[in-house]
Amino acid sequence: MSDQPGPPDPDHNDDENRPDDARGEQPGDDRNPGEDSEAAQRESLEALFQQFGASGDLSQLVAQVQQMLGQMGLGAPGAGGAMANPGGGIGFRMPGTQPPGAVGEDGVNWQLVRDVARKTAASQGEDPTPGRQRREQVADAVRLAQSWLDEATALPASSPQAQAWSRAEWIEKTLEVWQRLVSPVASSMADAMAETMSLPADAPEAQMLAGMEQMLKPMLRTSGAHMFGLQAGQSIGRLAGAVLGGTDNGLPLLPSSEVALLPANIEAFADGLESGADDVVIYLALREAARQRLFAHAAWLGPQVLALVEAYAREITIDTSRLEELMGSTGGALDSETLQRIAEQLQDNSLFTPARTPEQERILERLETLLALVEGWVDDVVEVAAERWLPQAGALAETMRRRRGAGGPAEDTLATLVGLELRPRRVREAAQLWQVLRQRSGADAREAAWTHPDLLPSTADLADPLGYTPGGQAAESGDDLDAELAKLLDSDDERGSDAEDR
């Protein structure tokens, strides 16, 4: 019999003997190879985009996400839009309105913060630039205050410049320090936002979409920084509507060579008080000038206060469950209006993890004590300086204590932006301690305590003013915290050197 193959059998299907990937299409099977995986990928992409509040097919979803980016003022380089260059990630900038360098390392557009702060301050009433009469009133009050302080303290005036500012000017002058204080929290907020919408690691599509998630995370991080920037701008703007001077409540927001008052805010503060307007201005000039003398004399003081606030802020953790709850209540949309609403809801600082770390507790105690010592010293010095010349000084001092007890503007802003809540009762204890020391050993002994931080009263000393002796016992402090503060202070020196080099 011949081994030659016979004619093909019309009933025989060679596909049965072929590998799966070599088989032909079966009658009635309209799927092409790879269609299942492509469909699954599209479904996964749609599910991922829907976390951002978008809906529809994939092309519609991409368009909606691009629109959200545009509403937030975020764009990607090139003509491909937000989804261009998936392999290289998304690069964000504020087209047209964001100059190079406007976004800091924390991801916050500080030009936006400035604009929001100024608009918030302007919404609280008229904010005229002080005219010649106002400026002369402030200059005369500061000169008079300095002459009275010369009799109350040995700390000299460092040729301070008397300044009369509008709220907008105060924002411009202090924003750089606020940026330093809140940047650590802004970075934490941005990171938390980037993690909020990540797919679970065990999700079927997680591995498939790993690259896509990494591409979208910069958008989410920028959204978090944008949201915090709105919150910071609103808080600083509200504070600008309440502060009476440049260094209200002991925060060294200005160079020690400037004594600044805000006449429009002082006028509102004085409304309803029995004291005359001129007396109120002089009294507040006394407080500002005294505080600036102290910051100039104790050169270490201002940097240490700021370093403590910054160290506390670095320990802040974000409550991602709260963030997810807020995002869920808005359907996950990331448009500018949604971020604005979330920022407003976070004014109660509910986004910060409630429990403080042990390190934060130590920093908080140290910072509270230091700020209380500053304000208590100012209370005592101003009381001595004003008692001969200003009959209403006692009533004004009580007004300031009530204002402080109700939660001053600086305390509210610190609580909102860095979760830092200070207790004003320690200021009263500190004022009593400085008064006891002055009456027992003289004003020179009171001022000598500021020569070095180790000579200052400790937290325990505030509870026992009679037992305090300058230099008798170094203030307790942890080695780790001291080392961290030293690093922060060293970085300040480097920033200052870099600025001089430029």
Sequential DSSP letters for 424-477? THHHHHHHHHHHHHHHHH-HHHHHHTTSSGGGS--HHHHT-GGG--TTTSPPP-
The answer to whether residue 182 is domain-embedded is yes
What is the structure's pLDDT at 26?
46
What confidence category does residue 21 fall into, taking pLDDT thresholds of 50, 70 and 90? very low
Residue 232 has pLDDT above 70, yes or no: yes
The answer to whether residue 91 is domain-embedded is no
Residue 15 has pLDDT above 50, yes or no: no
What confidence category does residue 268 fall into, taking pLDDT thresholds of 50, 70 and 90? very high
344: tokens are 């407003």
The reported pTM is 0.73
The answer to whether residue 367 is domain-embedded is yes
The answer to whether residue 84 is domain-embedded is no
The answer to whether residue 138 is domain-embedded is yes
How far is Cα 244 from Cα 382, in angstroms, rounded to an integer?
A: 16
Average pLDDT of 32-47? 54
Count helices and strands (H / E) in the chain.
18, 2
Residue 155 has pLDDT above 70, yes or no: yes
Q: Do residues 416 and 231 lie in contact, with contact meaning Cβ atoms separated by under 8 Å?
A: yes
Contacts of 63 (CB under 8 A, 6+ apart): none
The answer to whether residue 173 is domain-embedded is yes
What is the structure's pLDDT at 494?
54
The answer to whether residue 358 is domain-embedded is yes
306: tokens are 């700021």
User: Could you tell me which of 388, 441, 400, 446 has the C-alpha nearest to residue 424?
Assistant: 400
What is the structure's pLDDT at 64?
54
Residue 101 has pLDDT above 60, yes or no: no
Q: Do residues 245 and 145 lie in contact, with contact meaning Cβ atoms separated by under 8 Å?
A: no
How far is Cα 456 from Cα 461, in angstroms, rounded to an integer?
A: 9
* Number of Cβ atoms within 10 Å of the Cβ of 22: 9
Distance from chain centroid for Cα 345:
16
pLDDT tens sequence across 418-468: 877 777 778 999 999 999 999 999 999 999 999 999 999 999 999 999 989
What is the structure's pLDDT at 144?
97
Distance from chain centroid for Cα 497:
25
* Number of Cβ atoms within 10 Å of the Cβ of 491: 12
pLDDT tens sequence across 370-409: 999 999 999 999 999 999 999 999 999 999 999 888 876 6
Distance from chain centroid for Cα 280:
32
For residue 311, give its domain range.
110-501
Q: What is the mean pLDDT of the chain?
A: 76
Number of domains within the chain: 1
Residue 128 has pLDDT above 80, yes or no: yes
What is the structure's pLDDT at 98?
40
Residue 97 has pLDDT above 60, yes or no: no
What confidence category does residue 216 fall into, taking pLDDT thresholds of 50, 70 and 90? low
What confidence category does residue 219 fall into, taking pLDDT thresholds of 50, 70 and 90? confident
Amino acid at 415: A
Residue 52 has pLDDT above 90, yes or no: no
Average pLDDT of 464-474? 77
Q: Is 352 left (phi over 0), alpha (psi -120 to 50) or beta?
A: beta
Residue recorded with tokens 């325990």: 460
The answer to whether residue 363 is domain-embedded is yes
What is the structure's pLDDT at 211?
55
What confidence category does residue 357 fall into, taking pLDDT thresholds of 50, 70 and 90? confident
Polymer length of the chain: 502
242: tokens are 């309440």
pLDDT tens sequence across 288-298: 999 999 999 99
pLDDT tens sequence across 64-79: 555 554 554 444 433 3
Residue 22 has pLDDT above 60, yes or no: no
